[in-house]
């Protein structure tokens, strides 16, 4: 078992607090590999409450399920302006995980 670090990026919507601080939303996770379980998460949201919400949502999620369940949960529970950016980040992280599975640890990273 190894721990891997994955990241997802998305452009932030204009006129949001986060966009005034950062150009992009960055979502990072540590994952138990090959089990696919997210161990921890962090992101560049402007508020600590937002970062805790995302961390709680992601921690324990099995990336083998793909992004759809996360996107659906986010659609039901998150009504902030960064919803689409978070969904894009989730999809990017799932794509990275799939790539690592396909190529193995130490393979190419995008």
Q: Give the largest Cα separation in the chain, rounded.
A: 42
Q: What is the pTM of this model?
A: 0.87
pLDDT string in tens for the chain (110-residue length): 799 999 999 987 776 665 656 678 999 999 999 999 999 999 999 899 999 999 999 999 999 999 999 999 999 999 998 899 999 999 999 999 999 999 987 655 55
Signed CA dihedral, 46, 49, 50, 52: sign only? positive
């Amino acid at each position: 078992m190894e721990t891997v670090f994955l990241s997802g990026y998305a452009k932030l919507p204009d006129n949001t607090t986060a966009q005034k601080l950062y150009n992009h939303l960055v979502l990072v996770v540590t994952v138990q590999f090959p089990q696919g379980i997210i161990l921890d998460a962090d992101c560049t949201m402007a508020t600590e409450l937002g970062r805790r919400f995302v961390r709680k949502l992601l921690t324990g999620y099995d990336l083998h399920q793909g992004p759809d369940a996360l996107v659906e949960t986010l659609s039901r529970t998150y009504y902030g302006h960064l919803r689409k950016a978070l969904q894009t980040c989730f999809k990017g992280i799932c794509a990275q995980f799939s790539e690592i599975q396909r190529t193995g640890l130490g393979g190419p990273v995008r």
